[in-house]
C-alpha cells in the first residue's frame, strides 16, 4: 500500500467553524477532514490536530518514517516554533504549509513564517477549501518526487 499524506493542524484549529467565521469561515475541522479524504481518493490521509507542540512534533516524526507528504497548518506555531521547523527539516518528501487566511494581509505578527523556510509550497487565503487544493497539489508533488 502507498504511504499516506499527513495533514497536521496546530493550536485552536479545533475551534474552526465555531468562532471568527469572518476570518476562518463556517466549516468545522471535521468537515475539513471529510473534504481532505474526498479529495485524496484512494490515497490515505492521516488527519491530526493538537494544541500541544510536542504532539505535533511527534506526528512529524511519524510522517518522517511513514508518510509520503506533509500538509501542515501550524497556526500560531508557524511564527514561533524552531522545534517544529527542526522536525520538518528531517522530512525528505514534499511539505505544503497551509493557512486558511492570507497571513500577509493580516497584522505584522503573522508575517514572518519559520515554516516557510522549509516548505515546498505555501497556500494561504483560500479559506477552508485551501485544504482540498493542498491535497490535490500534494498528490502531484508526491507523484513527481517518486518518479
Return residues touching ligand CA2 (CB under 6 A).
12-13, 15-16, 19-20, 24, 73, 75-76, 78, 99-101, 103, 110
CA gap 93, 140 in Å, rounded: 12
Minimum Å gap between C-beta 70 and ligand CA2 is 15
Distance between the two ends of the chain, CA-based, in angstroms?
A: 17
In the set 24, 26, 111, 129, the catalytic residue is 24
Minimum Å gap between C-beta 93 and ligand CA2 is 21
> What single DSSP character describes residue 7?
E
In the set 99, 104, 129, 131, the catalytic residue is 99
Contacts of 41 (CB under 8 A, 6+ apart): none
Strands 45-49 and 5-9: parallel
Minimum Å gap between C-beta 48 and ligand CA2 is 15
Q: Residue 99 catalytic?
A: yes
> What single DSSP character describes residue 138?
H
Residue with Cβ nearer ligand CA2 (3 or 12): 12
Residue with Cβ nearer ligand CA2 (16 or 134): 16
Per-residue cell: 13:
484549529
Residue with Cβ nearer ligand CA2 (99 or 114): 99
Catalogue the E-assigned strands of 57-138: 69-73, 95-99, 121-124
Residue with Cβ nearer ligand CA2 (78 or 81): 78
Catalytic residues, by residue number, are: 24, 99
Amino acid at each position: 500500500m502507498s504511504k499516506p499524506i499527513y495533514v497536521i493542524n496546530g493550536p485552536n484549529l479545533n475551534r474552526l467553524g465555531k468562532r471568527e467565521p469572518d476570518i476562518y469561515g463556517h466549516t468545522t475541522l471535521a468537515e475539513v477532514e471529510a473534504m481532505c479524504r474526498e479529495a485524496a481518493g484512494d490515497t490515505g490521509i492521516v488527519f491530526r490536530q493538537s494544541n500541544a507542540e510536542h504532539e505535533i512534533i511527534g506526528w512529524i516524526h511519524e510522517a518522517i518514517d511513514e508518510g509520503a507528504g506533509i500538509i501542515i497548518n501550524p497556526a500560531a506555531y508557524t511564527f514561533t516554533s524552531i522545534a517544529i521547523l527542526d522536525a520538518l527539516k528531517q522530512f525528505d518528501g514534499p511539505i505544503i504549509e497551509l493557512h486558511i487566511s492570507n497571513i500577509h494581509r493580516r497584522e505584522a505578527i503573522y508575517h514572518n513564517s519559520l515554516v516557510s523556510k522549509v516548505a515546498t509550497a505555501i497556500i494561504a487565503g483560500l479559506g477552508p477549501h485551501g485544504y482540498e487544493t493542498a491535497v490535490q497539489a500534494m498528490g502531484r508533488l508526491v507523484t513527481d518526487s517518486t518518479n
